[in-house]
């Protein structure tokens, strides 16, 4: 169960092998625009994340709506789109929460951020803002945005 990750270039080769008359440029354009839609948080009409590979041909839709199957088995998905789906697994989405009890931090696409899992960069330890509760929200979001980056940059940094 689950998607098989594949790059756009690899998938284009696989697809054209079984559909040799299909126009390669059309296919690439379709994949690119589906991936862009996916990254912009555009969802299927049912609300689920779109399946980039299927959407490239069939228009924006999730795996289930496009194929009629509940779960992917031996189906491909563009690798960068899988990574994002995986990283949101198990996280609460703001739309699923009791509206009166929403607190904390959320990503742009509405997933809850677990503040405890964000590493505090060494830079923050020597910064004046680290002890300032008014700066905490901004600091947390800055750290979250860069948590997967090799180098941490902060424009609000003020040396202690
Ligand atoms: Zn759907």
Are 77 and 52 spatial neighbours (Cβ–Cβ below 8 Å)?
yes
pLDDT in tens, 67-88: 999 888 889 999 989 877 666 6
How far is 52 from 36, CA to CA, in rounded Å? 9
How many other CB atoms are found less than 10 A from the CB of residue 131?
9
**Rounded to the nearest whole angstrom, what is the distance from the C-alpha of residue 160 to the centroid of ligand 1?**
51
**Rounded to the nearest whole angstrom, what is the distance from the C-alpha of residue 68 to the centroid of ligand 1?**
9
- The reported pLDDT for the residue numbered 100 is 83
- The reported pLDDT for the residue numbered 106 is 83
Q: What six digits make up the tokens of 40? A: 């912009």
Are 50 and 66 spatial neighbours (Cβ–Cβ below 8 Å)?
no
pTM attached to this predicted model? 0.57
pLDDT in tens, 79-127: 989 877 666 667 778 888 888 888 888 877 788 888 777 888 889 989 9
pLDDT in tens, 12-67: 999 999 999 999 999 999 999 999 999 999 999 999 999 999 999 999 999 999 99
20 or 144: whose pLDDT is higher?
20
- The reported pLDDT for the residue numbered 67 is 95
* Per-chain residues with Cβ under 5 A from ion ligand 1: 44, 46, 48, 62, 65
- The reported pLDDT for the residue numbered 30 is 97
How far is 23 from 42, CA to CA, in rounded Å? 25
**Rounded to the nearest whole angstrom, what is the distance from the C-alpha of residue 46 to the centroid of ligand 1?**
4
Q: What's the first-to-final CA gap in the chain, in angstroms?
A: 51
């Amino acid at each position: 169960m689950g998607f098989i990750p594949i790059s756009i270039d690899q998938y284009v080769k696989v697809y054209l092998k079984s559909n040799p008359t299909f126009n390669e440029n059309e296919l690439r354009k379709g994949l690119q625009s589906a991936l862009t839609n996916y990254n912009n948080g555009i969802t299927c009409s049912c609300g689920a994340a779109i399946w980039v590979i299927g959407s490239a041909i069939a228009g924006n839709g999730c795996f289930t709506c496009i194929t009629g199957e509940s779960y992917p088995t031996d189906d491909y998905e563009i690798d960068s789109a899988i990574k994002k789906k995986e990283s949101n697994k198990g996280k609460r989405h703001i739309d699923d929460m009791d509206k009166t009890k929403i607190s904390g931090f959320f990503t742009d696409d509405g997933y809850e951020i677990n503040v405890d899992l964000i590493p505090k960069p060494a830079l923050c330890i020597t910064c004046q803002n680290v002890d300032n509760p008014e700066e905490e929200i901004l600091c947390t979001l800055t750290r979250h945005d860069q948590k997967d980056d090799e180098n941490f940059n902060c424009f609000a940094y003020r040396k202690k």
